[in-house]
Amino acid sequence: MRALIQRVAHASVEVEGREVGRIGPGLLVLVCAMQGDDDAAADKLAARVAKLRIFRDAADKMNRSVQDVGGAALVISQFTLAADTRTGNRPGFSTAAPPDEGRRLYERFAQALRDLGLPVETGEFGAEMKVSLLNDGPVTIWMDSTDRA
């Protein structure tokens, strides 16, 4: 699974003009299930996101996790993170998981964060969404569940 993580002061998501998710300080997590991903990949990525130390400590160093600071997560499905831009001008998305599996793994990822004690809001899988955020830092991190053992 892939994730683009942004440390935010606040974030929200709308679908068809109605707000479906909102958080205060925490993480906006855009997440994509890739072909071949499984439950273990979703759980592993969720654990890494929850422990990612990108919040400031008393010495103003990025040394605290979203768990440490009592933050929340807004999790948005984002199949375009699977974009293959190696050739041509139009990205391909054939490496993304099929929609049914993508939805299942997206929901598993969000639940895994909840199981780790984080308040989690979500968008709507497959919907056209409007995401608003105030990036704090800015801090933006790319993660892939296959990056380390």
Is 79 considered catalytic here? yes
Integer Cα distance of 65 and 47 in angstroms = 11
Out of 35, 80, 93, 140, the active site residue is: 80
**147-to-34, 48, 97, 102 alpha-carbon distances in Å:** 13, 11, 18, 19
Pairing of strands 18-23, 2-15: antiparallel
Out of 6, 55, 79, 122, the active site residue is: 79
Is 78 considered catalytic here? yes
Out of 78, 87, 109, 111, the active site residue is: 78
Q: Provide the annotated active-site residues.
A: 78-80
